Structure 1
Amino acid sequence: MDWIKLFFLHPVSFYQGAAFPFALLFNYLCLWDSFSTQARYLFLLAGGGVLALAAMGVYAVLIFIPAVCAVVLVSSLGPQDVHRWTFFFQMSWQTLCHLGLHYTEYYLQEPPSLRFCITLSSLMLLTQRVTSLSLDICEGKVETATGDIRSRSSLSEHLCKALPYFSYFLFFPALLGGPLCSFQRFQAHIQASSSLCGYTFWALTHRVLKILGLECLKVALRGVVSAGAGLTDCQQFECIYVLWSTAGLFKLTYYSQWILDDWLLHAAGFGPAFDRSTGDEGYIPDADIWTLETSHRLSLFTRKWNQSTARWLRRLVFQQSRVWPLLQTFAFSAWWHGLHPGQVFGFLCWAVMVEADYLIHAFANSSIRSWPLKLLYRTLTWAHTQLIVAYIMLAVEGRSLSSLWSLCNSYNSAFPMVYCILLFLLLKRKHKVN
């Protein structure tokens, strides 16, 4: 069937599916008291190394080197310095790798290696885990034995103390995808008693059914998109339909991949069932499809889109910024994604749209009283929100200047322009009132 081919032709989906039996095996072994804490760390680390070599080939070294360097920095620096230096090193390394992709795509005009693209995606997730741990250490949530690496302890003792960090950075259920898991949550699961391990068969089955349903929708929508015109040859209002259908295909791909990543983490025992057992509220799935598809607020959509990454960006950038925190957050997001022209434009446009969304809805909530007008307002803003999201998504996914030029020259540019005009008028009104 077509949906089976589509599912297994996606490289990350294939490797995530191949890792599923090993996630179940890990969960099964956790039920045995003889499967010690050290053995659990080693199993997850070894699985991550094998998965990295299988998915990335020789490019796996681009993951292993920053992981080793991050462990060295975490083990040798004090709480006040660890975040600054780990952030600087990790983002510098990731930026150099992204520049290699720029060189291949824009200078050599060659398609990049698929394994290299998988490596970059995994490197971005590694950056999340490294900076999340360094922030936890800086804030006193995680304690480390500072200076251990310079002590006179034996090499084996150093490696035993560093093993939890190595395992956290490279554990295979989160190597290629999945919501961000904090180090405290990761360590709590590894050290939990066997009664806390396990998974729910029906929860896994429910996720599989969701994935199959989304893949079937992708096949149907892909047929519609491929049969129609593209942004380069669409005519006038036809471009709006092209925008909506193409963005819909992108969203279905994201939803399917996020649920697949969640499925693998759940199979390994890192899902929400563990939080219910321990009382931890740390697990946040990336895909809240109902909220994303029904929200009439762009700001709410932004918080719910890839939720764990949104929370990570808020903690890493937004809460640390004193001037223009929203703009700084989206600018950093563009940097983290690779600084392609479409990404820079898309994320900066997203920041402006969210700022406009706050003012528009604040004004509407104080001005619209009758429920028929509120219903009409919610309907129009829902449609406008979905079209603005589609516009941003095509800019970010198109990446290149040529794709961005085609998008900006289409009728679709009217949607963000409406919000820009409203933002200007409401800011002017707010200034007069003040």
Structure 2
Amino acid sequence: MGLAFQAPTDDILLQILRACVPKSFLHLAVFTPPRAAFPFALLFNYLCIVDSFSTRARYLFLLAGGGVLALATMGPYALLIFIPTLCAVALVSSRGPQDVHRLTFSFQMGWQTLCHLGLHYTDYYLQEPPPVRFYIALSSLMLLTQRVTSLSLDIREGKVEAASGSVRNSSLSECLSEALPYFSYLLFFPALLGGPLCSFQRFQACVERSSSSYSCISFCALTWRGLQIVGLECLKVMLRRVVSAGAGLDECQQLECISVMWSTAGLFKLTYYSHWIQDDSLIYAAGFGSEAGQRSGEEGHIPDVDMWTLETTHRISLFARQWNRSTARWLRRLIFQNSRRWPVLQTFAFSAWWHGLHPGQVFGFLCWSVMVEADYLIHTFANVSISSWPLRLLYRALTWAHTQLIIAYVMLAVEGRSLSSLCQLCCSYNSIFPGVYCVLLFLLQNGNVVSVHIHEKLLTEVIVAPKDQEEAQYSREDDCVSCEDQCASSPLNLWKEESNILLFTIYKFFRVSTLQHPPGPC
């Protein structure tokens, strides 16, 4: 979820982080992935194949598994999950479609904010390390907020029929029977501690499908995921040695801080990748992955990680959309599409609120939003200005390195959280990289030289250039989320296509560049 700390790390990484990075990074290293839930996920999938395992029994199995897992991992802090779940189901079952989203959103974010304020009080005022179980409960609460708001949005938009009308005149047993799918969805154990967001429609379709529709788990798919996890863990061990051998973030000097930032952020990313794949494997083992429960016209299962795109993209905006993809799409639907002014800024600001409003998080997400705005203008200007292949290759290589360094900077700011870690980061040489993009953003937004250059380019390429100029090549970045960074520059043989693309680029530059590209979280 953006740069959420739901991706856990292991005990070994905790020791390395204690030695190599500031103390404020330790919240990343307190979780144990729900490996114990894998046998129960496989058991659930097997029982669904049996005809005697009814739909009601499936809902109860998922709900009971979630309750047991919450108590086992959170202890008494499981109440932080059970109370908002009960209140959310009560609101969904009693309020109309027009009011349910506003009320559930207000209550859920208010409850989550109070829990985060408790973390602030313990962490900053008392200066005591919060209990590990409290961290796990907060991470699960953030995921619960996703499911609650996704459900309320579906009800408001008419995708899910609200049960409020039938519940009011029903007995207690009938009310509980009507509310069972909601309870099961909000607490089902495969997604309680991690995993991509699953819509209520998809969840309900997966649970209620016939036994004949269930298929045996593909061990080839699970084996491939296992090999990915093993490879990532091996890379993490090697990178951990590099981090432990060098200076820490609070000890580095001058240019040395750049390599420390890069390697530390790389260690964090490998940890996220590994645990996102584990979470996705748990979802898949339970039967909620791939084509399971997918209806016509409905979007299928979306894994949270696409490592190839994240590590090869030279676009900050694309990285934002591909980092924790299900959360990025949730933020787009919840905030971006409902914002009339400054949608990018509002989306990243809400992401900072959702993460807990620590100083590093506020700075990191606001910095990320500025970098996304600059990214749009820089690449739009480059698409118009750079035409030769050698320059394009050089430009892509430089922007790739700059993008990865900026992402590392934002990641360390967000994960550092505390004001002291943020000051160390801002006073280091690492601040050069976002500073360059800020300067370019200012020049591209306010510089008349840029406007003159673009108009000259338009005059040269569209009005003066001959129609048979087939060797001219342009790189048009696709606005689609799934293929933006995979589109390469291709020769345009028709004059009409050539001029239309250039005119579209100019129009997007001056008018709606920031409104056509939904951000991610972050």
TM normalised by structure 1 equals 0.96
Matching of residue 36 in structure 1 with residue 54 in structure 2: yes
Q: Which position in structure 1 is the counterpart of 2:499? A: none
Q: Which position in structure 2 is the counterpart of 1:311? A: 329
| Native 8 Å contact 2:167 2:174 kept in 1 | no
Matching of residue 177 in structure 1 with residue 194 in structure 2: yes
Cα deviation, residue 275, structure 1: 5.5
* Change over 3 Å in CA distance of 1:17–1:11 after alignment to 2: farther
Q: Which position in structure 1 is the counterpart of 2:415? A: 397
The secondary structure found in structure 1 opposite 2:292 is helix
* Change over 3 Å in CA distance of 1:95–1:29 after alignment to 2: same
The secondary structure found in structure 2 opposite 1:272 is coil
Matching of residue 154 in structure 1 with residue 171 in structure 2: yes
Query: 1:239, 1:325 → 2: CA distance?
Result: 33
Q: 1:414 aligns with which of 425, 432, 452?
A: 432
The secondary structure found in structure 2 opposite 1:110 is coil
Amino acid at match of 2:182: Y
Query: 1:387, 1:273 → 2: CA distance?
Result: 36
Query: 1:187, 1:126 → 2: CA distance?
Result: 17
Q: 1:370 aligns with which of 381, 384, 388?
A: 388
Cα deviation, residue 231, structure 1: 2.0
Structure number with higher helix proportion: 1
* Change over 3 Å in CA distance of 1:346–1:88 after alignment to 2: same
| Native 8 Å contact 1:12 1:176 kept in 2 | no
The secondary structure found in structure 1 opposite 2:164 is coil
Q: 1:424 aligns with which of 433, 442, 452?
A: 442
Cα deviation, residue 276, structure 1: 6.7
* Change over 3 Å in CA distance of 1:194–1:282 after alignment to 2: same
Cα deviation, residue 230, structure 1: 1.5
Q: 2:39 aligns with which of 12, 21, 44?
A: 21
Amino acid at match of 2:157: E
Query: 1:128, 1:109 → 2: CA distance?
Result: 30
- Equivalent residue runs for 1:57-96 within 5 Å: 57-96=75-114
Cα deviation, residue 428, structure 1: 0.8
Query: 1:145, 1:279 → 2: CA distance?
Result: 24
Q: Which position in structure 2 is the counterpart of 1:187? A: 204
| Native 8 Å contact 1:52 1:60 kept in 2 | yes
Alignment size in residue pairs: 430
| Native 8 Å contact 1:346 1:396 kept in 2 | yes
| Native 8 Å contact 1:72 1:149 kept in 2 | no
Amino acid at match of 1:377: Y
Cα deviation, residue 4, structure 1: 9.1
Cα deviation, residue 7, structure 1: 9.0
Q: Could you give the per-residue CA deviations for residues 108-167 of structure 1, whole angstroms, max 9, x where no partner exists?
A: 00001100000000000000000000000000000012244432x221111000000000
| Native 8 Å contact 1:231 1:410 kept in 2 | no
Q: 1:339 aligns with which of 352, 357, 360?
A: 357
* Change over 3 Å in CA distance of 1:432–1:381 after alignment to 2: closer
Q: 1:297 aligns with which of 315, 320, 329?
A: 315
| Native 8 Å contact 2:360 2:415 kept in 1 | yes
Amino acid at match of 1:116: F
Query: 2:393, 2:256 → 1: CA distance?
Result: 27
| Native 8 Å contact 2:203 2:293 kept in 1 | no
Query: 2:141, 2:10 → 1: CA distance?
Result: 28
| Native 8 Å contact 2:371 2:438 kept in 1 | yes
Q: 1:98 aligns with which of 116, 123, 129?
A: 116
Report which stretch shifted further, 193-202 or 255-264.
193-202
Structure 1: unaligned runs, 5 residues or longer: none
Q: 1:350 aligns with which of 362, 368, 372?
A: 368
Cα deviation, residue 432, structure 1: 5.8
Matching of residue 382 in structure 1 with residue 421 in structure 2: no
Q: 1:241 aligns with which of 239, 247, 259?
A: 259
* Change over 3 Å in CA distance of 1:4–1:87 after alignment to 2: closer
Amino acid at match of 2:312: T
Q: 1:226 aligns with which of 244, 247, 258?
A: 244
Q: Could you give the per-residue CA deviations for residues 259-293 of structure 1, whole angstroms, max 9, x where no partner exists?
A: 00000000000111416797743311001000000
Cα deviation, residue 429, structure 1: 3.2
Amino acid at match of 1:190: V
Amino acid at match of 1:416: P
* Change over 3 Å in CA distance of 1:154–1:271 after alignment to 2: same
| Pair member with larger Rg | 2
Tell me the C-alpha RMSD between the 2 structures. 1.9
Amino acid at match of 1:301: F
Cα deviation, residue 205, structure 1: 1.1
Query: 2:111, 2:95 → 1: CA distance?
Result: 19
Query: 1:91, 1:226 → 2: CA distance?
Result: 38
Query: 1:195, 1:221 → 2: CA distance?
Result: 46
Query: 1:8, 1:17 → 2: CA distance?
Result: 18
Query: 2:136, 2:429 → 1: CA distance?
Result: 34
Cα deviation, residue 11, structure 1: 5.8
Q: 1:322 aligns with which of 340, 344, 356?
A: 340
Q: Which position in structure 1 is the counterpart of 2:501? A: none
Query: 1:279, 1:303 → 2: CA distance?
Result: 22
Matching of residue 164 in structure 1 with residue 181 in structure 2: yes
The secondary structure found in structure 1 opposite 2:234 is helix
Cα deviation, residue 6, structure 1: 4.5
Query: 2:303, 2:14 → 1: CA distance?
Result: 23
The secondary structure found in structure 1 opposite 2:281 is helix
Query: 2:77, 2:167 → 1: CA distance?
Result: 28
Amino acid at match of 1:115: R
The secondary structure found in structure 2 opposite 1:84 is helix
Query: 1:37, 1:382 → 2: CA distance?
Result: 49
Cα deviation, residue 219, structure 1: 1.4
With CA pairs under 8 Å and 6+ residues apart, which has the higher RCO, 1 or 2? Answer: 2
The secondary structure found in structure 1 opposite 2:205 is helix
